[in-house]
Amino acid sequence: MENRLSALFRNTFFFLGALLVGGCSVLPKLDSSAQEKSAAVKMPFETPASTVHELNPDLVFNALAGEIAMQRGEYELAYQHQLQTAILAEDAVAAERATRIAVLLKRDDLALQALEHWLRLAPNNLAGRQRAVTLYLDAGRPDPAFEQMQAILAISKASAENGFVPVMAVLSKHKDRAQALDLMQRFQAAHRDDPEAGYALALMSMVWRDYPRAESDIRKVIAEWPEWSKAPILLGRLRKLQDDGAGAINELERAIARNPNDVGLNSALARILVELNEYEKGYRQFLKVLRLAPDDSDTIYSLGVLAVQLKQYADARGYFNRLLTAGSHVDGATYYMGRIEEQNGNSEGAIDWYKRVNGGDFRLEAMARVAQVQADSGKLQEALDWVKNLRIQMPEQSVQLYLMEAKLLAEHGSSAEVLRVYANALEAHQDDHDLLYARGLYAAEIDRMDIVEHDLRRIIEHDPKNADALNALGYTFADRSIRLQEADELISKALELKPDSPAILDSMGWLQFRLGNLTAAADFLKKAFAILPDGEIGAHLGEVLWMMRDNAGAEAIWQQVLDRDADSKHVIETRKRLVR
């Protein structure tokens, strides 16, 4: 105990010393970039002059007592001491801490009391102003909240930032949406001459997933500022979010017709096309963007990735070489150079590129590809040794690396070896949901229903709202035409949790097929296929249509899948079974 208290006292005295050496009244605690900007411009609110306070018994006592109370979880006492520290030391940090403690206590009255000191001592602090908006709204005082919103805008504009977004961000989290919307509409009306205000209003409804309202608001912005490109970009996104891909494309094309050389509009159209799996059109659109912005590294990278997708490997190599020469997107470009070599059958070249990926999002995937290429080249033991060595080097990725090892053995080893890896993994990571889920799915492939049910029910026991586990167990029953009533209960619950999941919609469609409800099955599967036109969903939908005697419709769906993936095993096996 003595050592802990000594350390606490040392830390507190260090805090006091740092506080008093630089003066107790501090500038707003912004990030470093914000501080640099504020140093170069005159901020709208004057910060109190810095004054040095000598250490005195009251100040020392309150600082120490506040820290000790926090350590003990005595938050009301901690609040009182932090507030007194703020007052005695004229310190914004202590005032902020007092405010946050009061929020933790759900005492808005205390929070507002501390907040007044925080804003007085650090008037240009955006976090303080945002907290003030929330507290005033919670207290049913919209007018002071509005004044704080105006302050946020002024502070942001002084730093050449968009102040409407921070206002929208704090209002969008407010529990009373009607009150928040009313205040945001009032704010937009007060700044009707700025399109960013209407944009932020639409953005807030978008955050709430009230897409029709968001669309109505952004259309008003477009009508008033037809040349402003941010608005139609948001409108295109809203159309896409409402499952109207054609409408999204149409809105962006109309905007581009007005501003043909706008890089943002053309890029937005290219991204929408790719999201809609229109890869060739997206590629051509990104080429147009590149002509408008020849050195834009994001566009070059997008073209490279799409060229790989379209199997235009020579072009892809050219794009990635440009990035590597420029030192941009290095890890991503290096990874895709490995993919190109792998697709061209150059295993050693692929491994060499993969091993050069040093970090970022592609690091683990690149290391996985090394093992995959080794295993596919007949060097299974070398691949397994590689994965085990990675597990030593990257212990934080242990679960993912066990999953990788199991996958390699599932493809190139025996089921006994796969189950042994899962057993070792679950011994090291007991009840890990990813491991249980993966073993459950693998067990379904080898008809080990005892393992399937044990693992998936174990997940559901820990997490009753795990939609993926509910769906997987329900689909396993439906696919085998067993316990269909239970399958219906499981999949229905999963669908309530994730109503737009294509995998769960596919499961429900397949269950309805097993129950003989062909029309309902087709409806669910069509919705799933519209969201994710992959091989398994396409195979299921085609089979249902075939059984409904819509042979042409079935063939059209299957061909749509094969056009994207000529080797789709699900479609190939289904057609072989049904088409005589």
Q: The CATH number of the domain where 6 resides is what?
A: 1.25.40
**pLDDT at res. 54:** 61
Is residue 124 within 8 A of residue 155, CB to CB? The reply is yes
| Spatial separation of the C-alpha atoms in residues 108 and 240, rounded to whole Å | 40
DSSP 517: -
Where on the phi/psi map is residue 78: left (φ > 0), alpha (ψ -120 to 50), or beta? alpha
Does residue 329 sit within a domain? no
Give Cβ neighbours of residue 11 (< 8 Å, ≥ 6 apart): 67
Instruction: Tell me which amino acid residue 468 is.
Output: D
**pLDDT at res. 72:** 85
Does residue 451 sit within a domain? no
Range(s) of the domain holding residue 92: 1-124
Closest alpha carbon to 18 in 8, 6, 7, 10: 10
Does residue 88 sit within a domain? yes
DSSP 49: P
**pLDDT at res. 151:** 95
| Spatial separation of the C-alpha atoms in residues 463 and 209, rounded to whole Å | 26
Does residue 10 sit within a domain? yes
Dihedral in degrees, nearest 10, Cα atoms 475, 481, 484, 488: 30
Does residue 290 sit within a domain? no
**pLDDT at res. 79:** 84
* Pair of tokens at residue 126: 């955006």
* Pair of tokens at residue 400: 């993912």
Q: At which residue do the structure tokens 């990104």 appear?
A: 286
Does residue 65 sit within a domain? yes
DSSP 471: H
Count of alpha carbons within 13 angstroms of residue 429, beta-carbon side: 17
How many domains are contained in the chain? 1
Count of alpha carbons within 13 angstroms of residue 44, beta-carbon side: 15
Instruction: Tell me which amino acid residue 175 is.
Output: K
Question: pTM for the full model?
Answer: 0.76
Does residue 38 sit within a domain? yes
**pLDDT at res. 90:** 85
Phi, psi of 83 (to 5 degrees): -65, -40
| Spatial separation of the C-alpha atoms in residues 252 and 263, rounded to whole Å | 12
Give Cβ neighbours of residue 240 (< 8 Å, ≥ 6 apart): 248, 272, 275, 276
Digitized pLDDT (tens) for each residue of the chain, 580 residues in all: 333 323 333 344 344 343 333 333 332 333 334 444 444 457 787 777 655 456 677 777 877 887 888 788 888 888 888 888 878 888 889 888 988 988 888 898 898 988 999 999 999 999 999 999 999 999 999 999 999 999 999 999 998 999 999 999 999 999 999 999 999 999 999 999 999 999 999 999 999 999 999 999 999 999 999 999 999 999 999 999 998 999 999 999 999 999 999 999 999 999 999 999 899 999 999 999 999 999 999 999 999 999 999 999 999 999 999 999 999 999 999 999 999 999 999 999 999 999 999 988 899 999 999 999 999 999 999 999 999 999 999 999 999 999 999 999 999 999 999 999 999 999 999 999 999 999 999 999 999 999 999 999 999 999 999 999 999 999 999 999 999 999 999 999 999 999 999 999 999 999 999 999 999 999 999 999 999 999 999 999 999 999 999 999 999 999 999 988 889 999 999 999 998 7
**pLDDT at res. 12:** 41
Does residue 5 sit within a domain? yes
